[in-house]
């Protein structure tokens, strides 16, 4: 309907003022609740074309629409806003068009679709996934689904950081203090076991720093000369030189972590089209740095480290190879980006990474450009805020994190208790109960995280997220399940449906508002796509669910005696359910037919 109105306004401007209005000048929005009307035209962008005052322009366009646009019943003007009242029959026509459109709100992917590589997750193999990783994974997965809904060809990729000094810290700690412990002998999930040794390394390292400082060293000297960190760097050198024992230990410990990650990804419902490993990409990046050194793009400092001078670009001198020849994160990112471009020939490469890495991606893009990669402008960083607890920031080295597995288990148990108290698991089999509880828990967790503007920091509160009322995942889930129950009851009563007349004109204001909210779904998808923001979808589907529940409260559906009114309301319920399901899918949330 909004698109239809846009075209009508363009014709109005041409007819009245003899000038062509561009589509971007036609701003249509839902009329605010305090004013009479259904759709509102913002007149201000058209004043240059009309050459008249806002009120005069609005009145002239309003008169034209009532006379020439079949859907307009009347209008009123509030300053520079033209509020248009739609005919009741326009509401049913709108609903029938939505119902007939199999791909309503979704743009099919074609050969001409933009190809987008989207990287998210990117865990380190020295620790398990935690709450911060959950936001990253939920954002990345949801953004990929939203971009696909917008007609883009999206390739979901994961880069596992499986090498480097942080990995060697865990390896060294296990080698010195592990006594051969394995996931099997300890009963500890592999990624958790390795994470324990990462924390153990940090404890010993800090004790060594303290001791060296007591003997007269400065803090910086102590950090560099502490025996543990020296040994870790020596281990990294051995790994990069291909030392058989070091590589064998690395493979064994990483395999434990991968097994653990697989379990967590399955719980989260996260999959990837391809998983890359830093150990397979860093050498290519290293070669680019060596080549850039030969071309004079990079230089060596007094320690022998290779760097690129970005001070003229407002940044700094970025180390790309350490003095001992070992690589840094930036080195492997150079190799990985080039590898992906060869493989996918992407139009855009989006990295979903927290705002703590804003500087890193500015440097990455600039270094790629200076090295001569023509596609460097396709690199985009989707920067998002951190997740914090009431106690403050989480620190993996100190073990002060909320573990992803533990949080999911806690959410599942909370969902079970809440559902039992509300009687939502009554008459379900054990298998149905488990599926229901798991779906509610993940809906609560994902929705709580995704409904917040990605750029904002989240203060996480598990208890708030599980509520069956208000702006929560369980509330939206329940709305979908309530709609499915309507059609089960309809079938049980044996009530036959009949086609709705296109000129049906008995819609109430509540029904008209709800149909318009359904009709706003494509615009919500477009906004979410443009902004890469799942929050747009979450807030849209909450408003839709809230309006449906008001409609459900105010109107009879199955027991409505007028067949045409009943069919109109069934179509509203049917298409609300269809859109709610699509929205939840874009948030990575499954639906429940019963709750």
Query: Does an H or E element contain 342, and which?
Result: helix 329-344
Listed residue (174, 204, 176) closest to 212, CA to CA: 204
Q: Locate tokens 């037919």: which residue?
A: 593
User: pLDDT under 50 in the chain at which residues?
Assistant: 392-399
d(CA 554, CA 476): 19
**Coil vs helix vs strand at 155:** strand
At 400 the pLDDT is 53
**Coil vs helix vs strand at 563:** helix
Q: Could you tell me whether strands 81-86 and 72-78 are parallel, antiparallel, or unpaired per DSSP bridges? A: antiparallel
Q: Are 122 and 532 in contact (CB under 8 A)?
A: no
Reported pTM: 0.88
d(CA 436, CA 423): 12
d(CA 477, CA 482): 9
Question: Would you give the distance in Å from CA 306 to the centre of its chain?
Answer: 37
Question: Would you give the distance in Å from CA 176 to the centre of its chain?
Answer: 41
Strand partners for 350: 118, 380
Residues 4-22 as b or e (16 or more Cβ within 10 Å = b) = bbbebbbebbeebbeeebe
**Coil vs helix vs strand at 430:** helix
Strand partners for 389: 392
Q: Are 125 and 193 in contact (CB under 8 A)?
A: no
Q: Are 488 and 561 in contact (CB under 8 A)?
A: no
The pLDDT tens digits for 409-434 are: 988 998 899 888 888 888 889 999 99
Sort residue 53 into left (φ over 0), alpha (ψ -120 to 50) or beta: beta
Distant-in-sequence, close-in-space partners of 79: CB < 8 Å, separation ≥ 6: 54, 55
d(CA 108, CA 148): 8
SS (H, E, C) 278-307: HHHHHHHHHHHHHHHHHCCCCEECCCCCEE
d(CA 341, CA 336): 9
Listed residue (434, 450, 113, 162) closest to 280, CA to CA: 162
d(CA 100, CA 502): 12
d(CA 133, CA 452): 16
Cα 260–Cα 265–Cα 270 angle in degrees, nearest 5: 165
Query: Does an H or E element contain 419, and which?
Result: helix 404-421
Q: Are 76 and 35 in contact (CB under 8 A)?
A: yes
Angstrom CA distances, 136 to 142, 254, 442, stand at 10, 21, 15
At 426 the pLDDT is 86
At 398 the pLDDT is 47
DSSP string, 207-275: HHHHHHHHTT--HHHHHHH-HHHHHHHHHHHHHHTT-HHHHHHHHHHHHHHHHHHHHHHHHHT---SEE
First to last CA, the chain: 34
Q: Locate tokens 């990295």: which residue?
A: 351
Angstrom CA distances, 67 to 8, 55, 71, 181, 510, stand at 11, 18, 10, 82, 26
Q: Which value, to the nearest 10 degrees, does the dihedral of the CA atoms of residues 477, 482, 486, 492 take? A: 100
Distant-in-sequence, close-in-space partners of 434: CB < 8 Å, separation ≥ 6: none
Q: Which two tokens stand for residue 435?
A: 């599926």
Helix ranges (H only) for 101-189 are 131-149, 165-177, 183-186
At 399 the pLDDT is 47
At 592 the pLDDT is 95
Cα 546–Cα 388–Cα 447 angle in degrees, nearest 5: 25
Listed residue (394, 398, 400) closest to 202, CA to CA: 398
- Full set of structural domains in the chain with CATH: 2-86 (3.30.1360.70), 162-257 (no CATH), 406-586 (1.10.730.10)
At 581 the pLDDT is 98
- Rounded to 5 degrees, what are φ and ψ at 389? -105, 165
Q: Which two tokens stand for residue 292?
A: 């850039």
Q: Could you tell me whether strands 299-300 and 306-309 are parallel, antiparallel, or unpaired per DSSP bridges? A: antiparallel
d(CA 418, CA 376): 50
Distant-in-sequence, close-in-space partners of 238: CB < 8 Å, separation ≥ 6: 246
Q: Locate tokens 């380190």: which residue?
A: 124
Strand partners for 383: 353
Q: Are 324 and 229 in contact (CB under 8 A)?
A: no
At 4 the pLDDT is 85
């Amino acid at each position: 309907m909004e698109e239809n109105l846009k075209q009508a306004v363009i014709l109005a401007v041409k007819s009245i003022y003899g000038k062509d209005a561009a589509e971007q000048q036609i701003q249509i929005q839902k009329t605010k609740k305090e004013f009479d009307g259904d759709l509102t035209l913002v007149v201000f962008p058209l004043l240059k074309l009309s050459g008249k005052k806002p009120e005069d322009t609005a009145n002239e366009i309003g008169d034209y629409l009532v006379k020439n646009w079949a859907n307009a019943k009347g209008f009123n003007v509030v300053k520079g806003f033209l509020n248009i009242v739609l005919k009741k029959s326009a509401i049913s026509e709108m609903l029938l068009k939505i119902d007939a459109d199999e791909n309503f709100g979704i743009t099919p992917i074609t050969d001409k679709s933009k190809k987008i590589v989207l990287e998210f997750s990117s865990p380190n193999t020295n620790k398990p996934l935690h709450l911060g990783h959950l936001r990253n994974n939920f954002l990345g997965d949801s953004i990929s689904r939203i971009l696909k809904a917008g007609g883009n060809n999206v390739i979901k990729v994961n880069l596992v950081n499986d090498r480097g000094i942080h990995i060697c810290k865990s390896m060294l700690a296990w080698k010195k203090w592990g006594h051969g412990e394995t996931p099997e002998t300890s009963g500890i999930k592999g990624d958790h076991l390795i994470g324990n040794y990462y924390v153990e390394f940090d404890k010993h390292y800090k004790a060594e720093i303290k001791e060296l400082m007591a003997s007269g060293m400065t803090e910086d000297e102590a950090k560099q000369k502490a025996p543990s960190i020296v040994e870790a760097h020596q281990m990294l050198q051995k790994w990069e030189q291909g030392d058989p024992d070091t590589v064998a230990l690395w493979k064994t410990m990483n395999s434990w972590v991968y097994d653990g990650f697989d379990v967590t990804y399955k719980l989260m419902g996260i999959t990837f089209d391809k998983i890359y490993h830093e150990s397979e990409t860093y050498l290519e990046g290293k070669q680019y740095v060596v080549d850039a050194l030969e071309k004079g793009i990079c230089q060596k400092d007094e320690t022998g480290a290779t760097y690129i001078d970005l001070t003229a670009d407002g940044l700094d001198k970025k180390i790309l190879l350490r003095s001992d020849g070992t690589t840094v994160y930036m080195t492997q990112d150079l190799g990985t980006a080039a590898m992906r471009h060869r493989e996918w020939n992407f139009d855009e490469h989006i990295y979903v990474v927290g705002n703590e890495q804003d500087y890193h991606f500015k440097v990455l893009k600039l270094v790629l450009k200076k090295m001569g990669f023509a596609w460097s402008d396709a690199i985009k960083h989707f920067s998002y805020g951190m997740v914090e607890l009431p106690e403050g920031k989480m620190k993996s080295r100190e073990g002060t994190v909320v573990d992803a597995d533990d949080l999911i288990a806690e959410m599942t148990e909370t969902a079970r208790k809440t559902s039992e108290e509300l009687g939502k698991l009554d008459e379900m089999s054990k298998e149905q109960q488990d599926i229901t509880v798991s779906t509610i828990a993940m809906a609560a967790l994902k929705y709580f995280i995704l409904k917040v503007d990605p750029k904002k920091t989240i203060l996480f509160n598990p208890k708030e997220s599980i509520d069956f009322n208000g702006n929560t995942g369980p509330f939206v889930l329940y709305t979908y399940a309530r709609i499915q129950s309507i059609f089960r009851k309809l079938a049980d009563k044996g009530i036959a449906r009949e086609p709705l007349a296109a000129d049906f004109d008995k819609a109430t204001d509540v029904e008209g508002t709800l149909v318009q909210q359904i009709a706003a779904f494509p615009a919500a998808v477009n906004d979410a796509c443009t902004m890469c923001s799942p929050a747009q979808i979450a807030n849209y589907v909450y408003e839709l669910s809230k309006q449906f529940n008001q409609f459900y409260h105010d109107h009879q559906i199955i027991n409505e005696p007028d067949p045409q009114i009943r069919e109109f309301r069934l179509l509203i319920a049917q298409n609300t359910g269809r859109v709610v399901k699509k929205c939840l899918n874009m948030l990575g949330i499954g639906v429940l037919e019963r709750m």
